[in-house]
Every structure is written in C-alpha cells, then in structure tokens.
Structure 1
Amino acid sequence: MSANTEKPSRPGLKFGRTNEFTLFFTVKPGHGEQIGELFRRPGFKEQAREISKRIGTLHDARWVLFDDDTRLMFATNFDGDWDAYIDDFAAQIPDLFDEILTHTEDYPGIRDPNIKDFVVAHQATACSYFRAIPDATVKDLQKAVRVQEAFQRLLDEAS
C-alpha cells in the first residue's frame, strides 16, 4: 500500500461526505463594530436559516471576531465539492457576503472573477476534522428528521 502524496486541489479536510472550511480575514481598522452590528440586526438568524436552505449543503456556519475585533473568522462544514460550494455562495447570497466582507482588507467582492483565489489565500486547513455522522449529508439529516416527526405523530395518534 502506498501513501497518497497527491495534494488536494483545494484546501480543507474531508471526513466522510463532509468538508471543513475555515477562512481568516483582517478587519479594516475601526470596522469591527460594524461587522458585529450586521449579526445583531433583527431578522439575521431567520435570514441565515433561509440561506442554509438555499445553499442546501451547508451544515453550519460561524463568524467570529477576535484579536480585539481586528480579525474575522468564517467557518463552515459542507457537503460535496469545494468549487460548487463557492459557486453556490456567489449565486445564492452574494449581497450578504459583500455586506460583511467589505469590512475586511483586500476583499474584491464575491462577483470578482478571482474570488476563488482570494478565498484560497484566506483559507486555513484544519489540523484535524471529525464528524459524528460523517456520511450523512444535509439532505439525509433533513429526511431523517421528517421521518422521525412522522413516526412520532403516528405514535401520538395511536395512544
């Protein structure tokens, strides 16, 4: 058995059918509060749920301001291909990404033809990545929840 020495074409670790994705940005001086306000605005959580539904492969997402609001981290887990994931963000939610990342250094805009190069330059591959259910996609998990809910309704009706 030989070791796989081929480097993946894109950064990030894969575990089962899911990939980790972590980006780090430098926040423009004095823009940390503006970023924080975006996430605290009314309706943001509902908007995030709608975005997740539109993307369809997004397990979770976290944004973290750190180092006295001078750095911003965006981390997600997703199903499938890296390039398709970036394409989905550009097609489905370009304005939200522009609204947030315009407060970071050197952000070219999601519609820039070199956006994938920008993302790769800001992506850090995890040292380790683990998923409790590595082969379950978002669609698999949504289906399991629907089946469980239907089963519980049957049990409730039977009692």
Structure 2
Amino acid sequence: MQEQKTTDLAAIKRTVEETLGDAPQLLKLALENILREHDPHADAEPGSAGRIGRQSGKVSELTAIAPLKPGGADRLRRIFKLVNGNFAGAQKVATLHDMRFVFFENDTKILFATTYDGDWDTYIEDFATKIPDLMDLLFSSVEGWPGIKDPGVKDFIASHQLTADGWYVANPHLSVVDTRRLQRINDALQEFLDKVSGHVDS
C-alpha cells in the first residue's frame, strides 16, 4: 500500500511539472494538493450541450458576451431595478436553474450566463415559446438582436456564445424538476415530523 502511494505521488509530481513547469512554486504546490484529493472515480469531464456549451450530467451551461447598443446598460439597469433583479416569469422555463447579467468594458458589453437542464436547442426554443416578452425585454439592448421569435435567433446566440473552459456542478444529476420535487418531499416530511413531535410533547 505504501509503495502504491509513493508511486501515485511521483505520478502527481510528474503531472504537475509537465502542466506547470514554468509556474511559481506556490501554484505547483496548490495543484499537487488538489490532485492528491482528486477522486479518480468522479464524473468524467463535461460533455457537449449540443450546438455549443458544456453539459455535466443533466445540467448544461450557456455563457454569451455581446456588444450593447448605446445606452443599453443604463436601460437594462433601470429594468433590473424595477423588478428588483427578480425575473419570476423565467420560472415558466422549467429547465432554468439560474441566469445572470454583467456589464463590462465601460458598459459597452454584456455577459449573460445561465445553467439549465438538457440540450441547447430545446432550451432556446423554450425561451421563444414560454417567455418571449421577457427575452426581448432583456436582449433588445444588444446590438443586432433579431427578436426571440426570429428564425435566425439561434445562430445569433451561438455566434456570441463561448464554451466554458472550466466549470463545476455540485449536483449534476439533479434537474430543476428533481430539485423542486425533493423540496416538496422535504417540506412534507418536516411537516409530518413537526406534527409527530407535537403529539409526543403533549
């Protein structure tokens, strides 16, 4: 067993040197420590979400960067403030985990990032059929936005999308539907336990 650990450590050190040969020692040590803790039986590297983007288990990612029309960032900030940053209507897309917007380069560009269940094409189609007004409200300030129902919208989105180079999903095998179901089960169980506890106390 000790011989196996020594061999594994030597292999890790070789890998670190091959990967980060010219890096500072602190960086090498950090990678070595992470590799020592790495579970070789963990899920494999994320696969493809379809046309573009990565998928881990049931969960996929979409990251897009696009130029904004003049004044677009200010308009969107006013919209975000009006709804307190809460896009409740987005829950109509039952596969949507989250979405976030970041302005950068002096408000000339926007980063849109989201995680969702399933494949890319179906997700974009859900935007068009379930929340078209919200999508046009959010993206009409983007240069060249054709409208969510335009036949070319998928090509437009894909042309601005970047596939994540690194990405972590805590629960890749839990979809939004799974998570909501588990929450309902937990709520019912807690309610039952509270009632049982009340009877025991009385």
Normalization by structure 1: what TM-score?
A: 0.88
Q: Residues 75, 88 of structure 1: CA spacing in aligned structure 2 closer, same or farther, 3 A cutoff?
A: same
Higher helix share: 2
Structure 2: tracts of 5 or more residues without a match = 1-47, 198-202
Give SS of 2:155's match.
helix
Q: Root-mean-square deviation (CA), in Å? A: 1.8
Deviations 1:87-109 (A, max 9, x none): 00001111111122111111111
Q: Residues 149, 8 of structure 1: CA spacing in aligned structure 2 closer, same or farther, 3 A cutoff?
A: closer
Greater shift, 8-17 or 100-109, is seen at 8-17
Q: Is the 8 A contact 1:57 1:80 kept in 2?
A: yes
Structure 2 residue aligned with 1:4: none
Q: How far 1:50 sits from its partner (Å)? A: 3.1
Moved over 6 A (4+): none
Opposite residue 20 of structure 1, the aligned amino acid is E
* CA–CA separation in structure 2 for the residues paired with 1:101 and 1:15: 27
* CA–CA separation in structure 2 for the residues paired with 1:55 and 1:42: 18
Q: How far 1:121 sits from its partner (Å)? A: 0.1
Q: How far 1:111 sits from its partner (Å)? A: 1.3
Structure 1: tracts of 5 or more residues without a match = 1-6
Structure 2 residue aligned with 1:87: 125
Deviations 1:39-67 (A, max 9, x none): 1114662xx22322x11000111111122
Opposite residue 23 of structure 1, the aligned amino acid is A
**What are the equivalent positions in structure 2 for 1:8-157 lying under 5 Å apart?**
9-42=50-83, 45=86, 48-52=87-91, 54-157=92-195
Count of equivalent residues:
151
What is the aligned-residue identity percentage? 39
Asked which structure has the greater RCO (Cα within 8 Å, sep 6+), the reply is 1
Normalization by structure 2: what TM-score?
A: 0.70
Q: Residues 50, 28 of structure 1: CA spacing in aligned structure 2 closer, same or farther, 3 A cutoff?
A: closer
